[in-house]
Amino acid sequence: MTISALIFDVDGTLADTEEVHRRSFNTAFQRAGLDWAWSREQYRDLLKIAGGKERIASYIESIDIHDVERKSLHARIAELHAEKTRIYSSIVSAGRVRLRDGVARLLKEAREAGCHLAIASTTTAANVDALLEATLGARGLEIFDVIACGDLVSTKKPAPDIYQLALHTLGVTPDEAIAFEDSVNGLRSAVDAGLWTVITPTYWTEGGDFSEAALVMPHLGDPLQPLHGEPGGRLTRAAWLTMDELAERRTPPHAPDAVRALYQGAS
Ligand code: XBP
Ligand code: MG
């Protein structure tokens, strides 16, 4: 099966960014004079809410305060989140986050095979730009044909909107593309857009129900970081996930007729 496009989630999939997100939220809260400090355990739970602004809103709803105070905190979300984005993107721009094993290799292989690359992420555009430039170099943004992220859609993951936007902009059908995700919200979003999805969980997302994924692996693998027990476990060709393996395993057509019909004539 020819693969026309690979569509990547960012947080947790391209890089394990969530600890930097968590610390950036906490620093922003501290600078704003709020005594909120999200622990790792608490943040794991808060990650069920996609999107930083939505996550803060959900937290404000959960705390025991007077309605007047709650209302005034809701009014501060945009300002708090803008500060968090400044903190996060400056940490990432300083080179403090690296790509997950096998990501750079697979991106390169895909490009060499003439495959389009896209991003479908909940995170703010400035965060995506900072990560791609810091990890892939000054031209890191250019290797992606489409970057769909943040508030470009009104309904975030687990809704399929961000993947549908990426597919429409690429001009490909879900049958021709593969999604890469790390979380249950991301998997739901990709599967509901009709996509065959590879899952590589992290500490933040492991243990989720990934039964609808086509493939679940600890990471994408690389000649320098081979996957334990491969080939011969989930993979047949090498101890890392290759474009050839993806083309061989991809079972067409995956998308239900109704979903496929949405993309007819997309190009
Ligand atoms: C990741 C997220 C993001 C980040 C924070 O979801 O939920 O909200 O945690 O980003 P996914 P912002 O990987 O499924 O896209 O604060 O910029 O929203
Ligand atoms: Mg993710």
How high is the pLDDT of residue 2?
Answer: 83
Confidence of residue 226 (pLDDT cuts 50, 70, 90): very high
- 158-181 confidence digits (pLDDT tens): 999 999 999 999 999 999 999 999
How high is the pLDDT of residue 7?
Answer: 98
Cα–ligand 2 centroid distance for 13 (angstroms): 6
The number of beta carbons lying within 10 Å of the beta carbon of residue 26 is 18
Residue 207 predicted with pLDDT over 90: yes
9 in active site: yes
Considering the chain, what is the average pLDDT of its residues?
Answer: 94
170 Cβ contact partners less than 8 Å away, ≥ 6 residues apart: 4, 5, 7, 116, 118, 145, 146, 177
How high is the pLDDT of residue 68?
Answer: 97
Confidence of residue 23 (pLDDT cuts 50, 70, 90): very high
Residue 208 near ligand 1, beta carbon < 6 Å? no
How high is the pLDDT of residue 156?
Answer: 95
For residue 200, the ligand closest to its alpha carbon is 2
The number of beta carbons lying within 10 Å of the beta carbon of residue 151 is 11
**Mean pLDDT calculated for residue range 17-28:** 98
127 Cβ contact partners less than 8 Å away, ≥ 6 residues apart: 10, 17, 85, 88, 89, 92
- 89-105 confidence digits (pLDDT tens): 999 999 999 999 999 99
- 98-154 confidence digits (pLDDT tens): 999 999 999 999 999 999 999 999 999 999 999 999 999 988 999 999 999 999 999
Place of tokens 């996930």: 241
Closest ligand 1 atom to 121 CA: 15
Give Cα separations from 147 to 41, 60, 65, 100, 263 (angstroms).
30, 30, 39, 19, 18
SS3 content of the chain, % helix, strand, coil (to 5): 45, 10, 45
Cα–ligand 2 centroid distance for 67 (angstroms): 33
> Is residue 253 classed exposed, middle or buried when 0-12, 13-18 and 19+ CB atoms within 10 A define those classes?
middle
Residue 189 near ligand 1, beta carbon < 6 Å? no
Q: How far apart are CA 255 and CA 194, in angstroms?
A: 4
Structural domains in the chain, CATH included, are 5-17+99-263 (3.40.50.1000), 18-93 (1.10.150.240)
- The pTM assigned to this predicted structure is 0.93
Cα–ligand 1 centroid distance for 15 (angstroms): 12
Residue 255 predicted with pLDDT over 90: no
Going by C-alpha positions, the residue among 83, 95, 63, 79 that lies closest to residue 23 is 83
